[in-house]
Structure 1
Amino acid sequence: MPISSGYTQDVIANGVGSAMNSTTTDVDGVSYAFVSRDFQLTSSSTPLTYGLPSNGIVNSVVASTAGLSFQLGDYFGNNSLKISSSAAGSNSGTITFTTPIAAFKLYMLSTSGSGASTVNITVNFTDNTTQTFTGQSISDWYDGIGFAIQGIGRILRTTNVLESSSTNPRLYQTALTIDAANQTKPIQSVTVTKTNTAGVMNVFAFSADAYTSCLAPVLSNTGTVTSNSADISWTMPAGNPGVSHDIYYSTSSTPPTAATTPNHFDVQGTSYTLANLSPSTTYYYWVRTNCTGATSKSAWSFSKSFTTLCGSIVPSYTNDFSTFPGNCWVNNLTGGSPDTGPTGTTISPLWTSRNFLNVAANGPSAHMNIYSNNRIGWLKTVPFNLSAGGYRVKFKYAVSTYSGTAASAMGDDDLVHFMASEDGGTTWTILESWGPNNAPSNTANEFVYNLTANTGANTIFAFYGTSGTVNNSLDYNFYVDDFTVEAAQLSTSEVNRQVKKAEVHPNPFKDILYITDTKNVKSVMVADTSGRVVSTVEGAVKELDLSKLNSGLYFVTLYFKDGSQSTVKTIKK
């Protein structure tokens, strides 16, 4: 509701220059004012990442009024009705609106500095009648409930010292329900009267649910949601002359206006299934009613939102772990082996967020702290649709000591596997392994794997980490960052590297396992299904004597001279 008069002070520092020049007073009576995001003490000052929006539009975060917004006054002029006194004659002020409108509800945006304020609010209608709301409590600008916006920071006017916070200060939303007898009367102005001695009252803006004979529907809770659809429904206020409905949805929370084109027109009934949605995506939606009365369309309803379920993503895709573990990633799986897959979950995941290589400037990454023994953790990705072919996966990886940045060895039977599953996680293939023979350095190493053999429409990758059964008294972190699946651009060397495969025979074997074509082999490692290394051999060995092993399944990994490797499953009779 645009305001024509009533502001008495400028309490929002903005533009370039001292806060004393862009404000007339403070918010709280002790020299602290609000600050706009465009405030700079000098033209070379670092721009703010907090503050009131530069355009003055406050989108309320109150859940019951999703989509409600307020327009603050001009930052270069007075923008607050400030009331410090409770003494009669100086304890009130009146906000007058540019265009009077009738309303079901009126919403006031305000705050109180240096303690809470209690006010009486009188709504003045154009026919000279009034409706008064007594004893309205307005919280202190720090830590109160019912806020429309928080974490907007402040500035000390006398010194230009800025204070930032993710939660304070705050502006609060007060809802005023207009009596049924007054709902058709245009509202001319609002008078605010302070009745207690504590606190400094500041009124900034008003918005309204405008009266109409065609009432907006009320959205019900979202129904069934899949990876590409969602069932929505709504209810109609009693007596509403509605005949059909329009639906608007978007990945943006910005509410539609009267001029916004709906996604669906003239929907009959009070429910609808939104289809052809993207997986793992948050959508916002609104509904309005088409009526037969004097007003042909209602206002848009308040919004609701939903997030579609995880579905296969078509690359390109990157997870930088700034939000951990990432939408549709799973990090609380444990137990099992690369052969069985995870066997359980844990409330204390082993893969967690940590700055890459313990350096804050590197930003967050995924990491597993590997120490002691018998610790097994899985980090699974979102599923990918690789059916188009021609993709590659790449990521950064490294190892450092637990609390520092120094290099660390990996324990005798410690292992980290990078694996792929073409069937959504039922069976796994090891693409790369790191262990005591090839422990990563404490620098950002890059792993690149061309997915020429992986074209599944439901392909999942996973990092499997285990500290084995032996406690080596080592305590270190294995890091993964910037996980990317993208279109591959293969060089000749990459193609040659990709085609190297471990080939062994016979399989199953009894005692001796033979290796085919060993001229490019650097070393061989054999591990059991728990990840425990049971044999390692350096050099281009042609046969392995595994007669001392028990019968069962084993993983034989060949490390090639060009740095690549390949793993094959074998069975000992």
Structure 2
Amino acid sequence: MPIGTTYYFWVRSNCGAVQGFWQLTTFTTGQISVTYTNGDINTEFSTTATVTSTNACPGSLTVNVPAGYYIAATDVSYTMTTASNGWMSEQRSLLVCTTNAATEAAISSGVGGTTGTYSYSRSGLNLANNLTGAVNFELRAWRTFGGSGCDANYNKVDNNSWKITVTLTQTLANAAPVKPKITVYPVPFTTDLTIENASELLTMTIMDATGKIIRTVHQPTTSVEVSDLAPGLYVLQMKQSDGSVSYIKAVKE
């Protein structure tokens, strides 16, 4: 699905013999995920790494945000696996957005005084918020035991496990305009119905309480004469120029 595409669908309740009115619902696709596939990421030996520490062997990913959108939140997940006699508790890692030089608030550490694979997952990070275009990330990984420099002999980030998912938001200039609300009054009515924002309508269909169509008015004006309707409950189906449909209940005295 293309980013920023709005999809329209109609739903209604179904409670046995009683069914509700169709209601328009929309959603816009708004996430991009990118996975690192360039091999295992080495760890660098360090017992003093902090959120301001650089790393000689980070993994790098780029998320391309389309024009008209910007990042509202960032999620990250990956696994780190030990080797030889390395432990999971010796793992250290940090996500950095190199586009704006922002980092996570704290380094993440593994748990467990044994060998094995430890999974990491963090969501709702704000380090890349409001960025658009090509946004670059680094995953910096360290180990507190085993030799020196960068290698995968004791701990590593597993290939194909590091994934960045960004949630997007439309810029204000590209946000879909708010449709005028269609309202009908007076309620109850007697001889005439007044329609607010009638210029947005293609048709107004008047149905009785059983769903039988009584009348369809094409391109209704602000005032619709309905004095010939019998007293009772009616449902007004309002079809707008964008194809959306809404329903309004009205009572004739």
TM-score in terms of structure 1 length:
0.16
Larger Rg: 1
TM-score in terms of structure 2 length:
0.34
The structure with higher relative contact order (CA 8 Å, sep 6+) is 2
